[in-house]
Structure 1
Amino acid sequence: MSSPQYTILAVDDEPHMRRLLEISLRQAGYRALSASHGQEALALIQQQQIDLVVSDLHMPGMNGLQLLAALRKQYERLPFIMVTAQGEINTAVEAMKLGANDYILRPFELEALEIAITKALAVNRIQLENTFLKESSQPSGNGLIGNSAPMQSLKQMIQQVAPERATVFIVGETGTGKELVAKALHDASPRKSALFVAVNCAAIPVDILESELFGHEKGAFTGAVKERVGKFELANGGTLFLDEITEMPIQLQAKLLRVLQENVVEKLGGNRQIALDVRVVAATNRDPLQAVKEGKLREDVYYRLNVIQLQIPPLRERGDDVSLLADYFLSKRQTQLSAPARECLLAYRWPGNVRELENILERAAILAGNQTIQCQHLPADISQTPVTTSQTLSPDASAANDLSIPRATESIERRLILQALDACQGNKTKAAKLLEISERSLWNKLNQYGLR
C-alpha cells in the first residue's frame, strides 16, 4: 500500500524563498505548490485539495495572520504553519490562538520545517480518526468463529485476498456477518493501521448519503455550516466498507463509479479533487446479478466492485458452528446451555443467521437469570423444533446433502460428550464412565472438538 502524497502550499512574497521551499518540499516527498500572497493562496485552496499551508507572516495585502483567519472561517481543519522572524514571539502566539498548528522562526533549518510539517499532518489525522472512532463502534475482525468446511474456506480466501488492493464484493444473507468479514479483510491487510470505515447505504437517508460519502464544503447547501469530511476521504489509506450497496440510489452509483475508476473525489459544493488510496469492499444480501436485472445496481458498478467475490455461508449450512457461536456469546454472560437446549439450537434453521442466534441467546440468558439455559428459556419456534434423525446425524444434512460418515460420527460424539458433561455437572471422570471411555480418551476428544 502506498501512502497518500500530501500537497503542501508555501505562501511567501519573496521569489527566492518560495523556490527554496518548493524544492525542499518535493525532495521530502510532498507535492509542492506556491503562492506569492494571501489572496492567491485562498484562490488555490478553493480550486484544489491542499493538505497543509506554510505561510510567511509579512506579505503585502493579506498578511499571514489575515490569511489564517480567513482560512479558519471555511477550512477549520486545514493544518497551518506560520513563519515569523526572531523577536516576533507575540505574533507567533497570536497565530496559535487563531488556530495555527505550529510556528517556526526565521532563519530556520529545512529539517525543522520538515519536522513541523510531519507533526502537524500526523496530529490532524489523529484528531480526525479520534472523532470518527468516538462517533462509531467498529466490529472486531477477529470474530469469525467457526470450524465448519464453509467457514474454513472463507477464512482461507480472506487471507489470500487481504494483501491485494482489488475491490471485494461480499454476498450473504442478512445476519451472516458481512461487516465482520470486511473488517477481517482490513485487519489482515497492509492497511490495518489506517481506518476501517463502514457505511450502511440502506440506513442513511438518500438526501444526505452523498454528503456522507463524498463530504461537502461550507455553504454547499442549506445547513452546511462547516466543511464536512466524507467517508472516502476519512478512509484514505485504509478500507471503506459499503454495506447494502444495492440500496444506494442509482444516480449516486454513477458518481461512485467515477470515484472507483479515477481514485479521486470532489466534495459537494467544491471543485477540488482529493486523491484517494482507498480499498473499497461492498456487500449485499441480494443476488447481485438479480439486482442488476431489477435496476437496483448498475451493471458497470457491479463489474467494477466484483473483482473478487466472497460468499458467506448461512448459519444453517455451518453445522456445529452453531454450538461454537452459542458458547462464545454466552461466555460474555458467564452462563451456558443445557444439552437439550443445545439440541434445540442445532435443529433450528436460523433464517436470521448469526445475528438471530446472538439476540435469542441474550434473551434466553436474561430469562434464565444467567443460570444454565434450558429449552423453556428459548422461543417456542426453537424449543419445539423437532429433532429429526437427519438433524441428529448432521444439522446441515438437509441443506447440504452431507452424507459423510466421519462428519456424522464426529457430530454424534460431540453431542454425546456435551450431554454427559451436562449430566455430570462438568465432572470429567464421571462423564468418561457414563460414556464408557477412558478419561484420557475424553480429554483427547475435548481437545479435538474444542470443548475444553
Structure 2
Amino acid sequence: MLNGSRVLVADDEPNARRILEILLRRLGCEVFSAADGKAALAILRETPMDLLITDLNMPGMGGLELLAALRRDGHTLPVIVVTAYGTVENAVAAMKQGAFDFIIRPLDVEQVEMVIHRALNVQRIHQENEFLRDEMNKDWGEFVGQCPAMQKIYELIRQAGPSKASIFIIGETGTGKELVARAIHSNSGRRGLFVPINCAAIPADILESELFGYVRGAFTGAHKDRVGKFELAHEGTLFLDEITEMNPSIQAKLLRVLQESRIDRLGSNHSIEVDIRIIAATNRDPLGAVRLGRLREDLYYRINVLGIQLPPLRERREDIPLLARHFLEKYRRSLGGDSFTLSEEVAQALMAYAWPGNVRELENMMERAVVLSQGFEVGLRHFPQEILLTESPVILMSSIGNEDMDLEASVAKLEKNLLNKALAESAGNKAKAARILKISERTLWYKLKKYDLKAGSPE
C-alpha cells in the first residue's frame, strides 16, 4: 500500500478519471483530479504532489504541453501518460520529454498498479537521494568506550531501539548525542531515513520551512516545492538537536505533529500524513529550560518518554586512552601514514585534562597531533598549551632531570597545574575548585594570588 501518496489525475473524460481514482484510493493514495492540462498545472502550482497521471489528448493544454510546463517550473515529480492503443508513438515522444512511463487503454489493472508503484518508489528514492547527497561526506564515527557508564548507555540503546517511544538525550556539547540517536535508529528496524537537524544553527524563520517544507510561491524565493525534514523522515527518525533553542511557536506546531501525525507545508492547505519517530537532544538542563520558558512543558513531557543522560568525558577518564588511540588510527588512515604509538606521558596528560569540549575536542586534538607529528610517536610537543598546563603529577615528576632538583620550583609547578586543573573542572567556580583540591577557599585565593593565576572575581 502506498499510504498517503498524493496523486493528481488529469483527464477530460469523467469516467476515465473515475476508474483511476478508484484504483488509486484502493492503493491508499490521496487523489486529486483535473479535467484538463491548465487545471492540472494550477493544482500542481498550489499543492505538492508525488505523481501525475495525465491523458495525452485533452482540450486546451494536452499532456505533452502540461509535461513541458511542469519541467519549466522546475517540478521533478514523475509523470505517467495515458494513451490509446495505436498511438504509442505519442507516449514514446512524451517519455523523451521526461515522462516516467506510459499506460495504454483499455487499462490492465495489474499493469497500472505496477507502473504506479514503480513511479512512487522512484519519487521516494529521488527525495531520499537529495537528502543523502548532503549527508554522504559526513563521518559519524562510532562508539568507543568500555567504562560502566557507557555500558549502561549501550544497554539503553538496545532496549530503546525497537520501541516507538520518543527519546530525550541530555548531555554536554561534544558528548556524542547524535551518535546515540543514530545508534537508536539503526536498532529500531524503521525503514525510513535518519534525518538530523540542529535547531540552534538555523534562524527561526528558516527552521520552520526546513522542518515543514513549502509549496511554490509560499514566500519570496520559494520558486519550487520543497520537501521538509518531517516528510524526509517518514517511516524513519527525526533527530532534533538542541531543541531548547527552537522558537516556542514552532514547538507548538511540533506538538501538533506528534499528536496528529500530520503536517502542512508552508503555503499549502492540504495536510500530509507522516509516520516519524522523534529523538530530541539538548546540552541544557531540560527542566531548567522549561522553567525559563525556553521549552514548552507539554512538549517536554511528550518527548521525554525515555531520557538518556550522557556522561561528560571527564567522568569516564578510563576511556580517554582508548578513544585517543582510536582517533589516532582513524586519522592515520585518512592521511595514509604509518602506524602511530601513544606515549605514556601523552596518555597521562590526556587523562589529566578537563576536556570541556568532550569527545569532539579530543578527536580534534588527536587529528592535530597526527598532522604535526611527522613520525611514529605522538608527543606532548604536538598538543596545544592547555594540555601541557594540566600535566599529571606522574608527567611532572618524570620531566624533572638530575640537573633540575630544585624542590621549591618543582612543588610550585605541581601546585600551579593542580590549581589550573581544578579551575577547569569546576568551570571557574572557586568554591567548587577548593572542594576538589580539599582546601579552604581562603587558601585557594592565597595560592591564586601567589602564582598570579587569573581567577576572576569571587563566586
- Normalising to structure 1: TM-score of the pair? 0.79
Give, in angstroms, the shift of residue 325 of structure 1: 0.9
Alignment partner of 1:239: what SS? strand
More divergent stretch after superposition (176-185 vs 245-254): 245-254
CA distance in 1, matches of 2:392, 2:343: 15
Could you tell me how far apart the structure 2 residues matched to 1:331 and 1:227 are? 44
Partner of 2:145: 146
Q: Which string of whole-angstrom CA distances, capped at 9 and with x for unpartnered residues, describes residues 20-63 of structure 1?
A: 32333344444445444445545665676542222222334443
Instruction: Name whichever of 210-219 and 370-379 sits farther off.
Output: 370-379
SS of equivalent to 1:108: coil
Q: How big is each residue's C-alpha offset from its partner over 1:342-375, in whole Å with a ceiling of 9 and x where there is no partner?
A: 1111222211100010011111222221421122
Structure 1 stretches lacking a partner, 5+ long: 390-398, 400-452
Counterpart residue number, 1:365: 370
Correspondence 1:356 to 2:361: yes
Change (3 A) 1:218 1:50: closer
Given candidates 374, 377, 382, the residue that maps to 1:377 is 382
The equivalent residue for 2:346 is 341
Q: What is the aligned partner in structure 2 of residue 309 from structure 1?
A: 307
Q: 1:242 aligns with which of 227, 240, 243?
A: 240
Instruction: State the 1:235 CA deviation.
Output: 1.5
Q: Which stretch shifts more, 250-259 or 270-279?
A: 250-259
Verify the 8 A CA contact 2:175 2:313 in the aligned structure 1. yes
Match of 1:104 in 2: 103
Cα distance change on mapping 1:3 and 1:67 into 2, 3 Å: closer
Stretch of structure 1 that moved more, 379-388 or 81-90: 379-388
- What CA distance in whole angstroms lies between the structure 2 residues aligned with 1:263 and 1:70? 33
What is the letter of the counterpart of residue 65 of structure 1? L
Which whole-Å deviations, capped at 9, do the CAs of 1:390-438 have from their partners, x for residues lacking one?
xxxxxxxxx9xxxxxxxxxxxxxxxxxxxxxxxxxxxxxxxxxxxxxxx
Aligned to 1:175: 174
Paired amino acid for 2:243: I
Counterparts of 1:280 and 1:142, CA distance in 2: 22
Contact residue 46 and residue 216 of structure 2 kept, 8 A: no
- Aligned CA-pair RMSD: 2.5
Output the amino acid matched with 1:200: N
CA deviation profile, 1:314-345 (whole Å, cap 9, x unmatched):
11112321121111111121322111211111
Aligned residues: 388
Give 1:416-435 correspondences, 5 Å limit: none
Measured in 1, the distance between the counterparts of 2:376 and 2:294 equals 47
Give runs of aligned pairs for residues 20-99 of structure 1, distance below 5 A.
20-38=19-37, 41=40, 50-72=49-71, 74=73, 76-99=75-98
Secondary structure of 1:320 counterpart: helix
* Cα distance in 1 for residues equivalent to 2:287 and 2:2: 35
1:221 to 219, 222, 225: 219
Check if 1:288 corresponds to 2:293. Answer: no
Following superposition of structure 1 onto structure 2, how do residues 205-216 of structure 1 map, counting pairs within 5 Å?
205-216=203-214
Moved more, 98-107 or 6-15: 6-15
Correspondence for 1:263: 261
Query: What secondary structure does 2:58 align onto?
Result: coil
Range moving further from structure 2, 80-89 or 5-14: 5-14
Determine the C-alpha separation between the residues in 2 that align with 1:275 and 1:28. Answer: 15
Task: Name the CA shift for 1:126/1:251 in 2 (closer, same or farther; >3 Å).
Answer: same
More divergent stretch after superposition (320-329 vs 21-30):
21-30
Equivalent residue letter for 1:149: P
User: Is 2:11–2:36's contact at 8 Å kept on the other side of the alignment?
Assistant: yes
Instruction: State the distance in 2 between where 1:63 and 1:157 align.
Output: 58
**Secondary structure in 1 aligned to 2:317?**
coil
Kept after mapping to 2: 8 A contact 1:141/1:180 = yes
Structure 2 counterpart of 1:254: 252
CA spacing shift, 1:231–1:35, aligned 2, 3 Å: same
Measured in 1, the distance between the counterparts of 2:94 and 2:295 equals 50
One-letter amino acid of the structure 2 residue matched with residue 187 of structure 1: S
* More displaced stretch, 80-89 vs 16-25: 16-25
Partner of 1:406: none
Q: Residues 324 and 363 of structure 2 are in contact (CA less than 8 Å); yes or no, is this contact kept in structure 1?
A: yes
How far, CA to CA, are the matches of 1:3 and 1:319 in structure 2?
50
Further displaced range: 301-310 or 6-15? 6-15
Q: TM-score, normalised by structure 2?
A: 0.77
